[in-house]
Amino acid sequence: MSIQTVDVVRVQGPAVSTKLGLLPLVALVVGSMIGGGVFSLPQNIAKGASPAAVMIGWLITGVGMLALAFVYQGLSRRKPALDAGPYAYARAGFGDFVGFNSAWGYWLSAWIGNVSYVVLIFGALSYFYPAFGAEGNSVQAIVGASVLLWATHALILMGIRQAAIINVLTTTAKLAPILLLIVLVTVAFRLQTFAIDLWGTETPELGSILTQVKSTMLVTLWVFIGIEGASVYSGRADKRADIGRATIIGFVIALCAYLAVSLLSFGVLTQPELAGLPAAASMANVIEQVAGPWASVAVRIGLVVSVAGAFLSWTLFAAEIPYRAAKEGILPEVFAIENGKGSPSGALWITNLLVQAFLVVTFFANSTYLALFYIASTAILVPYVLSGAYALKLAMRGEGYRPGEGRGRDLFTGAVATVYGCWLIYAAGPPYLLMCAILYVLGIPVYWWAKGKQTREAFSGLEALLAAGIVLAAAAAGYLMWAGAISAL
């Protein structure tokens, strides 16, 4: 496929290296995956499952996400000319319009998710300063979140490499309280506590083991979002081989952290006790049982640092994906503007102005924001499915392989990643998937405009049918919401 590009507007300035080595790439992967969710994991995971079901859930999730990690590792090697990960793979495999929708869905999910991160930060800080409010949407919290937003904006405008170095530091800092919990809880771990009602048979409300496993996986499916972080920044990698390495290393670090936090907690408190903890920062309550209030405070501080680091990672992603798509004429060229430091300033300004607007929305209508966030969280799974399908397509055709080179592993991992991604979308809930069409339909005129600026035909025959399908799905979702048949709240 030929790649058409648009001119990039660049503010003149000194040449600055934007290349990233292995460590910053690993930090992007870990920093984007490990945010606030790990600190709520003990309560979230125990709420609907026994220890045995949790182990089974992590086994299935680990296999599925490892397959996806291998997909991104393999694609970085098979298609080194493709940058920006999920967007580039969807476009190369299935055409411009599908590629646009992958970029559009990913971008919307990234910046709407970022609203939740800054709200969560100030909700956590309310433990120390109650004026921020437990929900993080008081006037003081919105002002503080706005300051953090634009400070991060200024940091990225100073240069991608500088922002990535800061991300390495915040990622290191966020792992410290997790390691503290692992060490202290390992020492205090009691096997007899862990073995109490191992399969949940004495807690009928948990349901069957299958029901418990499904409940567990509805939690675990979200904590690995960000596994594609190194692929998103493949265009800025110092060595192409580091993309795959960073993806696998980041996956292993995150999986070990999640396993330790969720399973070791069952050796300190029983399933009913864990399920009864406050959902937010339940890790702090677990460690307080072992080491006292000082450890709880340390974990809460770690939560703030962790979420701030994830906010930085996802701000980088939210700017990079539309920037790459705009350079190839798939989004309007305003997204392709760079400054003299090589930062994607156009995409960054648009993204953060939208984040600022939605911070105000959280003050006046928090439920409306939450509805959009849940839909956007489902939307980001679509690019994962497309990445797996593209890897499977390459392996089936032998494209990018040397004569006689084995394709068995790539066929297997591509198939597993595709099926697992489809299952995640189903597990997230068909109503949310249907309502995703509302977000995707907003992108159709944007795509039409970008294509029209280059006097190119917007839609092929199949793409026109796909666009019509999105419009119909959005209309159906709107009608069902109006009728009260489905709700995102």
pLDDT value at residue 261: 94
C-alpha gyration radius of the chain:
22
Packing angle, helices 37-46 and 209-223, rounded to 10: 170
**Range of lowest pLDDT (78-82, 216-220, 353-357):** 216-220
pLDDT value at residue 373: 66
Q: DSSP character for 8?
A: P
- Per-residue pLDDT for 8 more than 50? no
Q: What is the tens place of the pLDDT at every residue in 425-461?
A: 777 777 777 878 888 999 999 999 988 776 667 788 8
| 338: helix, strand or coil | strand
479: Cβ contacts below 8 Å, ≥ 6 apart: none
| 413: helix, strand or coil | helix
Percent of all residues in the chain with a pLDDT value above 70, rounded to a whole number: 93
pLDDT value at residue 436: 84
Q: What is the tens place of the pLDDT at every residue in 289-326?
A: 999 999 999 999 998 999 899 999 999 999 999 999 99
Q: How many residues does the chain have?
A: 489
Q: What's the average model confidence in pLDDT over 96-125?
A: 90
- Per-residue pLDDT for 247 more than 90? yes
Token pair in block for residue 405: 């080179």
Classify residue 39 by burial, with Cβ atoms within 10 Å: 0-12, 13-18, 19+: buried
Cα four-point dihedral sign 448, 99, 335, 311: positive
Cα four-point dihedral sign 278, 283, 285, 289: positive
pLDDT value at residue 7: 38
CA distance 137 to 359: 8
Give which of 279, 283, 271 is closest to 48, Cα–Cα.
271
Phi, psi of 276 (to 5 degrees): -85, -5
**Structure-model confidence comparison of residues 478 and 254, the more confident one:** 254
| 102: helix, strand or coil | helix
pLDDT value at residue 220: 81
- Per-residue pLDDT for 29 more than 70? yes
Contact 92, 1 (CB under 8 A): yes
First-to-last C-alpha distance (Å) of the chain: 42
**Structure-model confidence comparison of residues 170 and 134, the more confident one:** 170
What confidence category does residue 1 fall into, taking pLDDT thresholds of 50, 70 and 90?
very low
What confidence category does residue 11 fall into, taking pLDDT thresholds of 50, 70 and 90?
very low
pLDDT value at residue 12: 39
Give which of 341, 339, 323, 320 is closest to 331, Cα–Cα.
323
b or e along 116-148 (b: 16 or more beta carbons within 10 Å of the residue's beta carbon)? Answer: bbbbbbbbbbbbeeeebbeebbbebbbebbbeb
Q: What's the average model confidence in pLDDT over 57-77?
A: 92
107: Cβ contacts below 8 Å, ≥ 6 apart: 318, 321, 322, 351
Contact 202, 279 (CB under 8 A): no
CA distance 316 to 230: 11
pLDDT value at residue 250: 95
What confidence category does residue 391 fall into, taking pLDDT thresholds of 50, 70 and 90?
very high
- Per-residue pLDDT for 487 more than 70? no
Contact 470, 438 (CB under 8 A): no
